[in-house]
Amino acid sequence: MADRKSNQQVFTLLVEIGRKSGDGLPVEATGAALMVFAGGVDEAEAVRETVAILKQADTAPLDVSGYGTLEEREAEGHDISEEERALMRRARDENAVIVAQVTPFFD
Protein backbone atom coordinates (compact mmCIF):
# COMPACT_ATOMS: atom_id res chain seq x y z
CA MET A 1 0.00 0.00 0.00
CA ALA A 2 1.29 3.48 -0.89
CA ASP A 3 2.26 5.83 1.91
CA ARG A 4 -0.85 7.91 2.49
CA LYS A 5 1.13 10.88 3.85
CA SER A 6 3.04 11.24 0.57
CA ASN A 7 -0.21 12.21 -1.16
CA GLN A 8 -1.25 14.66 1.55
CA GLN A 9 -1.55 18.34 0.83
CA VAL A 10 -2.53 21.08 3.25
CA PHE A 11 -5.51 23.26 2.41
CA THR A 12 -6.52 26.61 3.86
CA LEU A 13 -10.20 26.61 4.78
CA LEU A 14 -12.51 29.25 6.20
CA VAL A 15 -15.24 27.64 8.31
CA GLU A 16 -18.29 29.51 9.54
CA ILE A 17 -19.75 28.06 12.72
CA GLY A 18 -23.02 28.74 14.49
CA ARG A 19 -23.72 28.56 18.19
CA LYS A 20 -23.85 25.32 20.13
CA SER A 21 -23.77 24.68 23.86
CA GLY A 22 -20.18 24.21 24.98
CA ASP A 23 -18.64 25.75 21.84
CA GLY A 24 -16.28 28.01 23.84
CA LEU A 25 -17.29 31.21 22.05
CA PRO A 26 -18.00 34.43 23.97
CA VAL A 27 -21.52 34.45 25.43
CA GLU A 28 -22.67 37.37 23.27
CA ALA A 29 -21.24 35.92 20.01
CA THR A 30 -23.66 34.71 17.34
CA GLY A 31 -21.08 32.45 15.70
CA ALA A 32 -17.54 32.65 14.39
CA ALA A 33 -15.23 32.29 11.43
CA LEU A 34 -12.34 29.84 11.80
CA MET A 35 -9.25 29.88 9.61
CA VAL A 36 -8.15 26.26 9.43
CA PHE A 37 -5.22 24.38 7.92
CA ALA A 38 -6.18 20.78 7.15
CA GLY A 39 -4.50 17.93 5.34
CA GLY A 40 -6.04 15.70 2.74
CA VAL A 41 -5.38 14.03 -0.58
CA ASP A 42 -7.77 16.63 -2.02
CA GLU A 43 -9.75 19.60 -0.76
CA ALA A 44 -12.95 17.56 -0.37
CA GLU A 45 -11.20 15.19 2.05
CA ALA A 46 -9.74 18.13 3.99
CA VAL A 47 -13.24 19.63 4.30
CA ARG A 48 -14.77 16.31 5.46
CA GLU A 49 -12.04 15.82 8.08
CA THR A 50 -12.36 19.40 9.31
CA VAL A 51 -16.15 19.23 9.66
CA ALA A 52 -15.90 15.90 11.51
CA ILE A 53 -13.28 17.26 13.94
CA LEU A 54 -15.21 20.48 14.56
CA LYS A 55 -18.39 18.52 15.31
CA GLN A 56 -16.44 16.38 17.81
CA ALA A 57 -15.25 19.64 19.40
CA ASP A 58 -18.86 20.71 20.10
CA THR A 59 -19.06 23.34 17.37
CA ALA A 60 -21.72 23.70 14.70
CA PRO A 61 -20.05 24.05 11.26
CA LEU A 62 -22.37 25.85 8.82
CA ASP A 63 -20.26 26.62 5.76
CA VAL A 64 -16.75 25.90 4.47
CA SER A 65 -14.87 27.92 1.85
CA GLY A 66 -11.64 26.57 0.41
CA TYR A 67 -8.66 28.79 -0.41
CA GLY A 68 -6.38 26.07 -1.81
CA THR A 69 -2.91 24.80 -1.00
CA LEU A 70 0.12 26.88 -0.10
CA GLU A 71 1.28 26.74 -3.73
CA GLU A 72 -2.13 27.79 -5.04
CA ARG A 73 -2.31 30.68 -2.57
CA GLU A 74 1.21 31.83 -3.49
CA ALA A 75 0.29 31.73 -7.20
CA GLU A 76 -2.67 34.01 -6.41
CA GLY A 77 -0.36 36.48 -4.67
CA HIS A 78 -1.50 35.85 -1.08
CA ASP A 79 0.84 37.17 1.61
CA ILE A 80 1.55 34.14 3.80
CA SER A 81 3.40 34.70 7.07
CA GLU A 82 6.07 32.37 8.41
CA GLU A 83 3.71 31.58 11.29
CA GLU A 84 1.05 30.38 8.82
CA ARG A 85 3.66 28.33 6.94
CA ALA A 86 4.76 26.70 10.20
CA LEU A 87 1.14 25.80 11.05
CA MET A 88 0.69 24.35 7.54
CA ARG A 89 3.81 22.20 7.99
CA ARG A 90 2.49 21.04 11.36
CA ALA A 91 -0.89 20.14 9.83
CA ARG A 92 0.92 18.08 7.18
CA ASP A 93 3.44 16.45 9.52
CA GLU A 94 0.84 15.54 12.15
CA ASN A 95 -2.00 14.88 9.68
CA ALA A 96 -3.95 17.32 11.83
CA VAL A 97 -6.64 19.96 11.55
CA ILE A 98 -5.15 23.19 12.91
CA VAL A 99 -7.42 26.11 13.83
CA ALA A 100 -5.16 29.09 13.21
CA GLN A 101 -7.59 31.90 13.95
CA VAL A 102 -11.04 32.34 15.52
CA THR A 103 -13.03 35.50 14.77
CA PRO A 104 -16.31 35.63 16.75
CA PHE A 105 -19.34 37.31 15.16
CA PHE A 106 -21.43 39.80 17.12
CA ASP A 107 -24.73 41.05 15.68
DSSP letter string, the chain = ---GGGG-EEEEEEEEEE--TT----TT--EEEEEEEEEESSHHHHHHHHHHHHHHTT-EEEEEEEEEEHHHHHHTT----HHHHHHHHHHHHTT-EEEEEEEEE--
Please report the pLDDT score of residue 70 as a whole number. 94
Residues of the chain with pLDDT under 50: 1-4
Question: In this predicted structure, what is the pLDDT of residue 8?
Answer: 85
Break the chain into its structural domains and give their ranges: 4-105
Spell out the residues 6+ positions from residue 37 whose beta carbon is closer than 8 angstroms to its own: 10, 11, 12, 13, 84, 87, 88, 90, 91, 97, 98, 100
Q: Can you give the pLDDT at residue 6?
A: 61
Check residue 76 and give its pLDDT: 94
